Structure 1
Amino acid sequence: MPFALYLLGLAVFAQGTSEFMLSGLIPDISRDLSVTVPAAGHLTSAFAVGMIVGAPLMALLSRRFARRSALLVFLVAFLLVHVVGALTTSFAVLLVTRVVGALANAGFLAVALVTATDMVEPDAKGRATSALLGGVTVACVAGVPAGALLGEAWGWRSAFWAVALLSLPAVLAIARAVPAGAPDLGSPRALGELRALRGPRLLVTLLLGALVNGSTFCTFTYLSPVVTRVSGLGSGWVPAMLALFGVGSFVGVTAAGRLADVRPMPVLVFGSLALLTGWALFAVTASRPVAVVVLVLVQGALSFGVGSTLIARALYAAAEEAPHLAGGFATAAFNVGGALGPWLGGLAISAGLGYRSPLWLSAALVAVALAVGGTALGLAGRRRSPTEVTEARARS
């Protein structure tokens, strides 16, 4: 993998830390800015909405710019809004910085996904995707717990300063190491790239990505009460469990990166079946601490392994018709899942179904993904000749 690809991963690490760190900072922000905890929780929702809207929108805006320039603009904007966020005493201003930061994050990730896959051979998109998304998994392992510790020791503003400082070396490194590139004036027009969404292969892949990511964050968002109120472990275990989930996600992304380009169907089919089984088993055994420790690690690996493979397949599906928007499509779909899962989990808990309910919902979302994927494969098989089906299976 090119060294510049890992520098993009460094920026993704800083952005992933920013996206997830608020889960441990909301009470402190609430007290400091004199707002309710639910109001402070809107900071997380604002970031998710900004990511969903921003991914395709920012990818569209960046089409006529050299990719290195677009990456630097997005990353510098992301850095500056965190400086503003660390300094402000206004909740409204902080909320705006989260939206703008999400737009910049979404734009960076959309362009970075396309840039990363263009740095490697055409049949190595899976490995490039896993190397880039490794930054997100490392954020889960180290960045999020570190942000929580910083917030506890020096207040929530210190976590925002830390993200800004993490982004600075990434800006300098990308300016020096990522190829400048040039606007591709011969690429498909924006409307033509949007028409790629009419393709059933791409649409199904994006839907599967949203469902799988929804299942991941349905449980991840409520992992703290599962650990403390269902498993009976102390609150001191929560950072360790979050980090353990991150370790699993890193293992899953790394392993999937080696298989997503050569054996994607076995990864998706058997990985999804294992993921479904794991969520159901987690729900049944959530009161047993040993089982929880094991399953947090395993489900983190399976979730991100299947998820990163789906991102790679989306990039393959959109490569010809939507070379610039492919990353935006994938980013938006996965953030739809990232918003949908926690919302569904919250509804279930509010309805009095208990803290195991997000685990069952995670299993249900994966089951729906398997049903959708199986139906799509069956319909595609009917439209193809036996020879084409045999060749497709051989490639998988």
Structure 2
Amino acid sequence: MPFAVYVLGLAVFAQGTSEFMLSGLLSGIAADLHVPLGAAGLLTSAFAVGMVIGAPLTAAACRSWPRRRALLFFLGVFVAVHIAGATTSSYGVLLATRVVGALANAGFWAVALVTALALAGPHQRARATAVVVGGVTVACVVGVPAGAALGELWGWRSAFWTVALVSVPAAAALLPAVPSGTPEDAPEVSARSELRALARPRLLLTLLVMALVQGATFCTFAYLEPLVTRVTGLGASGVPVVLALFGAGSFLGVALAGRLADAHPGAVTGTGMTALAAGWAALALTADRPAAAPVLVLLQGALAFGTGTTLLTQVFRLAPDAPTLAGSFATAAFNVGAAAGPWLGGLALGAGLGFRAPVWVSALLMGVALVGAGALALPSGPPAARSGADAPAE
């Protein structure tokens, strides 16, 4: 695997830490900037919205740029807004930096994915995707707890400074590792042609399935704390352990998907999604058993991120003539699920359905995803009429 792919994973680690670390910093931010806790929570929502909107917009804006220039530009903006956020005393400025940081993160993600695939070659697509996505899983396991610890020791601003500092060596390593010119495999087509390529029904259905899988994942992940403390009975001290188990499982799932998905994408996706649906239902039924719930959380983390990585690779297989915009739409689909899942779980909790309700919602979302995956498995037309873009997925 080319060294540049691992550098991209390092940059994604820093950006993933930034995306999720506010969960442990909200109280400090609210107290320091003299705003309600709910207003501090909007900083997380602003980042998610910026990711969803920014992914296709930034990818379209830079689609003709050399990839190294685009990566360094987005990473430079990301570093700058974190420095601005670490030094500001204004809530409005901090909110703006979160939006701009999300736009830069979305653009970097889109370009990083297609760059990793191009550098790795056609036979290592899933492994390259796994390395980049692995940056997010490491952020969940290491970066987010470290950010919370820094916030406790030296205040929330220290976490922002650390994210900026971690991004600097990634930028320095990208400079010699990624070719400076326009890639030879870049499609010489208009943005309108790329958008037409993205309108293929099978690709849109894959993106929908991907959003449903992520929605199911984050629906339960967002409410693990009350599930663990009030249903499983492990207490507050058990929450970090369970979260670490989910993060460790996600890292394991991404690593395994990278090994298996290039040769058997359909089997990995079908088996993973079926097991996910069954696993969420099993967790909902056994959440009150301290011996069972942590094991299921570990397995679900592995299945969720392993399946998600394989689906992400499938998006590029289905849109070889629109790689940059395909990556941006995949990023948007990921974040739509990450935002919609917790919202749906919150509705279930608000309806008084109990602390297991978000887990049942996850199982329901996976049931819908399985219906979509079943439609993807159907032939899209007579064998002679099917295009080469659809063939790898089948």
Q: TM-score, normalised by structure 2?
A: 0.95
CA distance in 1, matches of 2:384, 2:328: 35
Partner in structure 2 of residue 220 of structure 1: 221
Partner in structure 2 of residue 323 of structure 1: 323
Q: Report the Cα offset of residue 64 of structure 1.
A: 2.0
Asked if 1:203 corresponds to 2:201, the answer is no
Structure 2 residue matching 1:325: 3-state secondary structure: helix
Partner in structure 1 of residue 106 of structure 2: 106
Partner in structure 2 of residue 298 of structure 1: 299
Structure 2 residue matching 1:6: 3-state secondary structure: helix
Residue pair 2:317, 2:392 contacting (<8 A) in 1 also = no
Partner in structure 2 of residue 35 of structure 1: 35
Residue pair 2:318, 2:393 contacting (<8 A) in 1 also = no
- Give the letter for the 1:311 counterpart: L
Q: Structure 2 vs 1, CA of residues 395 and 353 (structure 1 numbering), >3 Å: closer, same or farther?
A: closer
Count of residues paired in the alignment: 391
Partner in structure 1 of residue 282 of structure 2: 281
Question: Pairwise CA RMSD of aligned residues?
Answer: 2.0
**4+ residue runs of structure 1 moved beyond 6 angstroms?**
392-396
Partner in structure 1 of residue 84 of structure 2: 84
- Give the letter for the 1:28 counterpart: G
- Give the letter for the 1:384 counterpart: P
Q: Unaligned 5+ residue runs, structure 2? A: none
Q: Structure 1, residues 135-194: CA drift from partner, whole Å, max 9, x if none?
A: 111111100111111112221111111111111111111112222131778621111111
Structure 1 residue matching 2:323: 3-state secondary structure: coil
Asked if 1:194 corresponds to 2:195, the answer is yes
Query: Where do residues 1-396 of structure 1 align in structure 2 (5 Å cutoff)?
Result: 1-182=1-182, 187-320=188-321, 322-378=322-378, 380=379, 383-385=381-383
Residue pair 1:262, 1:395 contacting (<8 A) in 2 also = no
Q: Structure 1, residues 249-305: CA drift from partner, whole Å, max 9, x if none?
A: 010001011111111111111111110111011111111122121011100000000
Q: Report the Cα offset of residue 373 of structure 1.
A: 1.5
Q: Report the Cα offset of residue 384 of structure 1.
A: 2.8
Q: Structure 2 vs 1, CA of residues 31 and 191 (structure 1 numbering), >3 Å: closer, same or farther?
A: same
- Give the letter for the 1:6 counterpart: Y
CA distance in 1, matches of 2:233, 2:384: 55
Residue pair 2:265, 2:393 contacting (<8 A) in 1 also = no
CA distance in 2, matches of 1:328, 1:386: 31
- Give the letter for the 2:79 counterpart: L
- Give the letter for the 1:117 counterpart: L
Q: TM-score, normalised by structure 1?
A: 0.95
Residue pair 1:207, 1:333 contacting (<8 A) in 2 also = yes
CA distance in 1, matches of 2:383, 2:9: 42
Q: Report the Cα offset of residue 124 of structure 1.
A: 2.3
CA distance in 1, matches of 2:274, 2:181: 41
Q: Unaligned 5+ residue runs, structure 1? A: none
CA distance in 2, matches of 1:100, 1:164: 14
Q: Report the Cα offset of residue 87 of structure 1.
A: 1.0
